[in-house]
Amino acid sequence: MKIDSPFLLDTNILIYAADSEFEFHFKAKEIRDNATNGKIEAYITPQVLAEFYSTITSSKRVNNPLTPELAKTEVENYLSTPLKMIFIKENTVKRAVELAVRHRLTGAKIFDALLAATMLDNRIYTICTFNDSDFSKFTGIKVINPTAIT
């Protein structure tokens, strides 16, 4: 499978690319590098960067957490690349809650619905993620798992 462009980078791509101990590190790093070098058109959201910071600084989530200062540098590096930022619009939260109710999502799963709603509101219909099941339920969102990319 070939990756469709444009697409949104899910948080796990950034996390796995940053930590060589993850099983999918090299595949995530390849995609991240192609996106940050402008070889493929990719998008991120403030939510993705906040989730990245939250995860990469947590010893409960990664074996080698970054200090807040190093994580800040990583986030700033992403902001200085060709990655394009998309934002929540006026009705995005309402749409996210509607998606969450429709799919019976609870707890932190609302953030998957918020990301899907942000994508749809910005006309980005493909997400690159290792978590297929988190997004395949949303009508209009195509999921590309990096392990399937040739």
- The verdict on residue 2 lying in a domain is no
At 8, give phi and psi (nearest 5°). Answer: -100, 135
Residue corresponding to tokens 């101990």: 21
- The verdict on residue 76 lying in a domain is yes
- Comparing C-alpha atoms, which of 126, 18, 131 is closest to residue 73? 18
With 0-12 CB in 10 A as exposed, 13-18 as middle and 19+ as buried, what is 75? middle
pLDDT tens track for 100-133? 999 999 999 999 999 999 999 999 999 999 999 9
Q: Using CA of residue 64, residue 38, residue 45, residue 117, what is the dihedral sign?
A: negative
With 0-12 CB in 10 A as exposed, 13-18 as middle and 19+ as buried, what is 67? exposed
- The verdict on residue 133 lying in a domain is yes
- The verdict on residue 1 lying in a domain is no
Q: State the residue range of the domain holding 53.
A: 7-148
Number of domains in the chain: 1
Is residue 111 within 8 Å of 47, Cβ to Cβ? Answer: yes
**CATH number of the domain to which 118 belongs:** 3.40.50.1010
pLDDT tens track for 67-108? 999 999 999 999 999 999 999 999 999 999 999 999 999 999
